[in-house]
Structure 1
Amino acid sequence: MSAISTAENQTIAWLFGQPVTEIPQDLFIPPDALTVVLQSFEGPLDLLLYLIRKQNIDVLDIPMLTITEQYLSYIAQMQKHELDLTAEYLLMAAVLIEIKTRLLLPSPPPAEEEEIDPRAELVRRLLAYEQMKLAAAELDALPRAGRDFGWAWLPVEIIAVTQPPQVQVADLTRAWLAILARAQHNRSHHVVKESLSVRAQMTSVLRYLHTHQQCKFTELFGRNDSLAMVVTTFIALLELAKEGLVQINQNSATAPILIQAMSQ
């Protein structure tokens, strides 16, 4: 049987190949085994807390006589086996002897103020130590880089696609008014019957864009186009944009408006 750890909910020993996670209530650890048990203690508070929890003693009501005798027995065994005793272990032994002595002395006559329990400071230190020990165990159980998992590094090149600014309605309106003003100068007194169709003009615009891929807004309107033709072409362009067949862009506020055919 080999001791591993005394933390709660952990394997404290292995017995015939099986883990033992709880300390039996009737477990007696002989002083000769102290050299093995002390390897898992981190200080006098840890040893004292182990003695209390091993016997299911209430921390708020510690039997100082029993605990002090057991603690001093362990200290004696440490000295017997020539183990290095730190000042903390000896100081805790002195504190336990003092508390036990104060409890054995006759109680003074009751005073107006309530007498302070000599064990109160020791109880406070034990509870604080146990709380920190449990918190440390919870932190240690969290996944840790390098112990439970490793970091994976994958270089990824992110290419930002520059989107041209969208054409505002006001910009398109100004361009349309300029085309319309130019068409006003091409009025003729000759009465000519024109057969105009928005669908036919849409086909004409798409055919032009498939040839040139991209063109300026003004290139869709001929200089000699009549007012009816200009209006029909503009309506055809708006219908194409609505149906997602063309895209209207403008690189800057002062740049010309560009018409581009959308890939199918």
Structure 2
Amino acid sequence: MVDGVAVARLYGEPLFALPNDLYIPPDALEVFLEAFQGPLDLLLYLIRKQNFNILDIPMADVTRQYLAYVDQIRAHNLELAADYLLMAAMLIEIKSRMLLPPKPSENGEEPEDPRAELVRRLLEYEQMKLAAARLDSLPVMGRDFLRAQVHVEQSLAPRFPDVSLVDIQEAWRDILRRAKLNQHHRITREQLSVREYMSVVLRRLQGERFVEFQDLFDVSQGSPVVVVTFIAMLELARERLLEITQAEAFAPIYVRLAYQPT
């Protein structure tokens, strides 16, 4: 048949002679051994590929196959094959010791198997290789997933602390104390409208950036006017028509229109 004399196939067609201009790089076989992570990896591959019992390694077969692999690269890249040649010497030594009769031990115990140290190293290497494979199967950031990054723009506008109820109470007591200093002994009956004083407060804040809390009260008109003004201001705050702010704790309280730009 044609395949019996063909040296290779190119695109499915038989090739009977190598081209004259065919170039084989000196390190062409280096890729093969770099697929293994050292001599133990190659030796473990040969054992597992043929289903040998790792506790009872057939040294003759394994050594012969191992040397066949190493001989392929020894002539091309001696530096790469150095570690593999060292393992080959160890395999030949073990094979030679197995051919010799075992030396009797001084205490009468059974002599150790020449393959014991090699088996121990192979088992330890296999355990480490399996552990590395399990670690590599775990999700890795940058390979299997990316870290979510969310950019949040910080507002440049200053955020004033909320005014507590205690602060408003203290400011209100201060207004009442000042109102008592301007009491009149005039007995009259006045009809005070909260809506009217809501308009008064809004007109007072119109065109002003901030007005201090106590400046909204005309203490000279007595406590009734001060009380109605305070109720009108609370009603405006409830309807979100004005804002009550304080720069920091125990600082003066300021009032401004809610819709007035800063």
* TM-score bracket, shorter-length normalisation: 0.5 to 0.7
Match of 1:66 in 2: 61
Say yes or no: does 1:183 pair with 2:179: yes
Check conservation: 1:250, 1:258, Cα contact below 8 A: yes
Match of 2:224 in 1: 228
Say yes or no: does 1:263 pair with 2:259: yes
Distance 1:179 1:39, change over 3 A: closer
Distance 1:34 1:238, change over 3 A: closer
Match of 2:90 in 1: 95
Equivalent residues in 2 for 1:76-115 (5 A)? 76-79=71-74, 81-84=75-78, 86-107=81-102
Check conservation: 2:103, 2:111, Cα contact below 8 A: no
For 1:248, what is the secondary structure of its paired residue? strand
The Cα offsets for residues 2-31 of structure 1, whole Å up to 9 and x where unpaired, read as: xxxxxxxxxxxxxx99xxxxxxxxxxxxxx
Match of 1:219 in 2: 215
**Deviation at residue 140 of structure 1 after TM alignment:** 9.4
Check conservation: 1:167, 1:248, Cα contact below 8 A: yes
Structure 2, gaps ≥5 residues long:
1-10, 13-27
2:98 partner amino acid: L
2:70 partner amino acid: I
CA distance in 2, matches of 1:223, 1:41: 95
Check conservation: 1:246, 1:262, Cα contact below 8 A: yes
Match of 1:247 in 2: 243
**Deviation at residue 107 of structure 1 after TM alignment:** 5.0
- Aligned counterpart for 1:164 among listed residues 160, 165, 168: 160
Distance 1:164 1:62, change over 3 A: same
CA distance in 2, matches of 1:201, 1:63: 107
For 1:224, what is the secondary structure of its paired residue? helix
**Deviation at residue 71 of structure 1 after TM alignment:** 1.4
Equivalent residues in 2 for 1:122-201 (5 A)? 122-133=118-129, 135=132, 139=136, 158-201=154-197
For 2:44, what is the secondary structure of its paired residue? helix
- Which is worse superposed, 196-205 or 212-221? 196-205
The Cα offsets for residues 80-106 of structure 1, whole Å up to 9 and x where unpaired, read as: x45415432222112112222333444
For 1:59, what is the secondary structure of its paired residue? coil
**Deviation at residue 45 of structure 1 after TM alignment:** 1.8
Number of residue pairs aligned between Structure 1 and Structure 2: 231
**Deviation at residue 62 of structure 1 after TM alignment:** 2.2
Check conservation: 1:187, 1:226, Cα contact below 8 A: yes
- Aligned counterpart for 1:54 among listed residues 45, 49, 52: 49
CA distance in 2, matches of 1:209, 1:61: 98
CA distance in 2, matches of 1:99, 1:229: 111
- Which is worse superposed, 127-136 or 187-196? 127-136
Identity across aligned pairs (percent)? 51
TM-score by length of 2: 0.67
CA distance in 2, matches of 1:104, 1:178: 110
Check conservation: 1:34, 1:74, Cα contact below 8 A: no
CA distance in 2, matches of 1:117, 1:260: 95
The Cα offsets for residues 193-215 of structure 1, whole Å up to 9 and x where unpaired, read as: 11123344334323433443531
Distance 1:113 1:215, change over 3 A: farther
CA distance in 2, matches of 1:154, 1:199: 48
Equivalent residues in 2 for 1:196-211 (5 A)? 196-211=192-207
**Deviation at residue 218 of structure 1 after TM alignment:** 1.4
Structure 1, gaps ≥5 residues long:
1-15, 18-32
CA distance in 1, matches of 2:227, 2:125: 87
Check conservation: 2:182, 2:220, Cα contact below 8 A: yes
Match of 1:10 in 2: none
